[in-house]
């Protein structure tokens, strides 16, 4: 008789609300009630580095989240505390500027700065954060912090905003205040996707479609390599420069395009004659990734999991070979996963250069699979690997 699989219930960030309220009142004063707000992380199914090339993306929210306990105050103070980092930051509305030493707190500070620029007046606020999104796992914990902060501020002020306004406020905060030149993928997905759905996004037209999805006999697995993402900012900026250079070169060569995503697969041979080899690799990835997103959209609609898994693998190879945003550790994990019959496909999550793979698996035993990966991975790399299943998550809002 097969052994039954015991589901281990993980502690969730929302379970820490009592401790969050206690910390808030201990650190910032015990007067006034505390309300709680949340925002999910996100995972991209396909569409690696296509957002800033005005391309196509398939993504969803995940059932891991950032939770914030929030309370207004009247003295213009901005107080922040992270339960996970045990780090307190104090600032003020009059002197709300990015500070390197503030680290994670620059994300909520940026959202507050953007809201102030849009005319939303805040008298001051206390915010205490907790999360169950693994840091550095390419599941958009930073965008979730931004989204939870925004929900808290506008919820306490009873200020209405559309989902689009919310997404672009957080996107501007990350670009302008934090200084990370990211595309719109993370913030748009968090505010516009929802539970039991996969979102198709056209970044050129900013048109999205929610496609119903049920995990029937399959699971979406996140495999954390344990490799930090210190290279993300420098390499990400370099890829954007390379894409801009490729776009300029193609325009000079006579291509009538508005972005790299305007190029069709049939035009790639002509593009190759106009580009240096490195720039051609970047273009080929963007063009073929957009094509994969279109195929994956239909695979999701038809619940064709085998086809979707193959597209995951094709996306991984393109990312690794043409966009060069993999690492030896991610390559090793992909190789180990490819030997398992339950794995339908795996790809690099988020920006890459460390972090995670995301895999589609047919009726897997996550504990057994993690044990298999851990033995070989630790022996070769000296690092620990962590695997966990994710499902689609609920849209941001208040926790009642």
**Catalytically annotated residues:** 186
Count the Cβ atoms, other than its own, within 10 Å of residue 371. Answer: 11
What is the spatial distance between Cα 307 and Cα 102, in angstroms, rounded to a whole number? 44
Shortest CA distance to 282 belongs to which of 303, 251, 299, 260? 260
Interatomic CA distance for residues 327 and 337, integer angstroms: 15
Q: Classify burial at 33, counting beta carbons within 10 Å of its beta carbon; exposed 0-12, middle 13-18, buried 19 or more.
A: exposed
Q: Using alpha carbons, select from 335, 339, 329, 325 the residue that is nearest to residue 382.
A: 329
* Cα–Cα dist 271/246, whole Å: 9
Task: In whole angstroms, give the CA distance from residue 332 to residue 100.
Answer: 34
Give strand pairing partners of 343: 361
Q: How far is CA 168 from its chain centroid?
A: 15
Bridge partners (DSSP) of residue 201 are 57, 208
Those residues with Cβ within 8 angstroms of residue 41's Cβ, 6 or more apart along the chain or in another chain: 61, 62, 64, 65, 66, 133, 139, 140, 141, 143, 144, 190, 393
Buried residues in 312-350 as b, exposed as e (16+ CB within 10 A): bbbbbebbbebbbbbbebbebbbebbeebebbbbbbbbb
């Amino acid at each position: 008789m097969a052994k039954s699989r015991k589901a281990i219930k993980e502690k969730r960030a929302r379970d820490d609300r009592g401790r969050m309220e206690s910390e808030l009142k201990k650190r910032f004063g015990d007067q006034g009630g505390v309300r709680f707000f949340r925002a999910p992380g996100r995972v991209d199914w396909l569409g690696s580095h296509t957002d800033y090339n005005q391309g196509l993306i398939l993504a969803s929210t995940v059932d891991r989240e950032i939770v914030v306990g929030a309370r207004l105050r009247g003295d213009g103070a901005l107080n922040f505390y992270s339960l996970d980092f045990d780090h307190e930051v104090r600032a003020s509305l009059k002197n709300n500027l990015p500070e390197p030493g503030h680290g994670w707190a620059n994300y909520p500070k940026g959202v507050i700065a953007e809201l102030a620029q849009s005319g939303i007046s805040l008298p001051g606020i206390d915010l205490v954060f907790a999360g169950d999104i693994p840091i550095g796992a390419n599941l958009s914990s930073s965008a979730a912090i931004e989204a939870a902060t925004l929900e808290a501020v506008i919820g306490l002020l009873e200020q209405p905003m559309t989902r689009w306004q919310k997404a672009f406020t957080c996107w501007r905060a990350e670009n302008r205040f934090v200084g990370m030149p990211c595309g719109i993928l993370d913030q748009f997905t968090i505010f516009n996707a929802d539970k039991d759905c996969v979102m198709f996004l056209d970044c050129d037209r900013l048109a999205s479609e929610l496609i119903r999805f049920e995990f029937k006999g399959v699971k979406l697995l996140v495999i954390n390599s344990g490799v930090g993402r210190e290279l993300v900012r420098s390499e990400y900026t370099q890829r954007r420069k390379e894409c801009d250079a490729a776009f300029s070169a193609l325009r000079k060569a006579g291509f009538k395009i508005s972005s790299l995503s305007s190029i069709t697969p049939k035009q790639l041979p002509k593009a190759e004659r106009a580009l240096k080899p490195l720039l051609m690799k970047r273009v080929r990835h963007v063009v073929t990734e957009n094509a994969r997103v279109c195929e994956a959209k239909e695979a999701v609609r038809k619940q064709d999991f085998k086809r979707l898994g193959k597209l995951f693998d094709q996306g991984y190879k393109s990312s690794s070979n043409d966009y060069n945003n993999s690492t030896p550790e991610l390559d090793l994990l992909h190789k180990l996963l490819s030997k398992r019959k339950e794995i339908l496909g795996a790809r690099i999550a988020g920006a890459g250069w460390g972090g995670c793979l995301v895999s589609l698996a047919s009726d897997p035993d996550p504990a057994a699979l993690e044990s298999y990966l851990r033995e070989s991975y630790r022996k070769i790399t000296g690092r620990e690997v962590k695997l966990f299943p994710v499902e689609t998550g609920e849209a941001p809002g208040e926790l009642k």
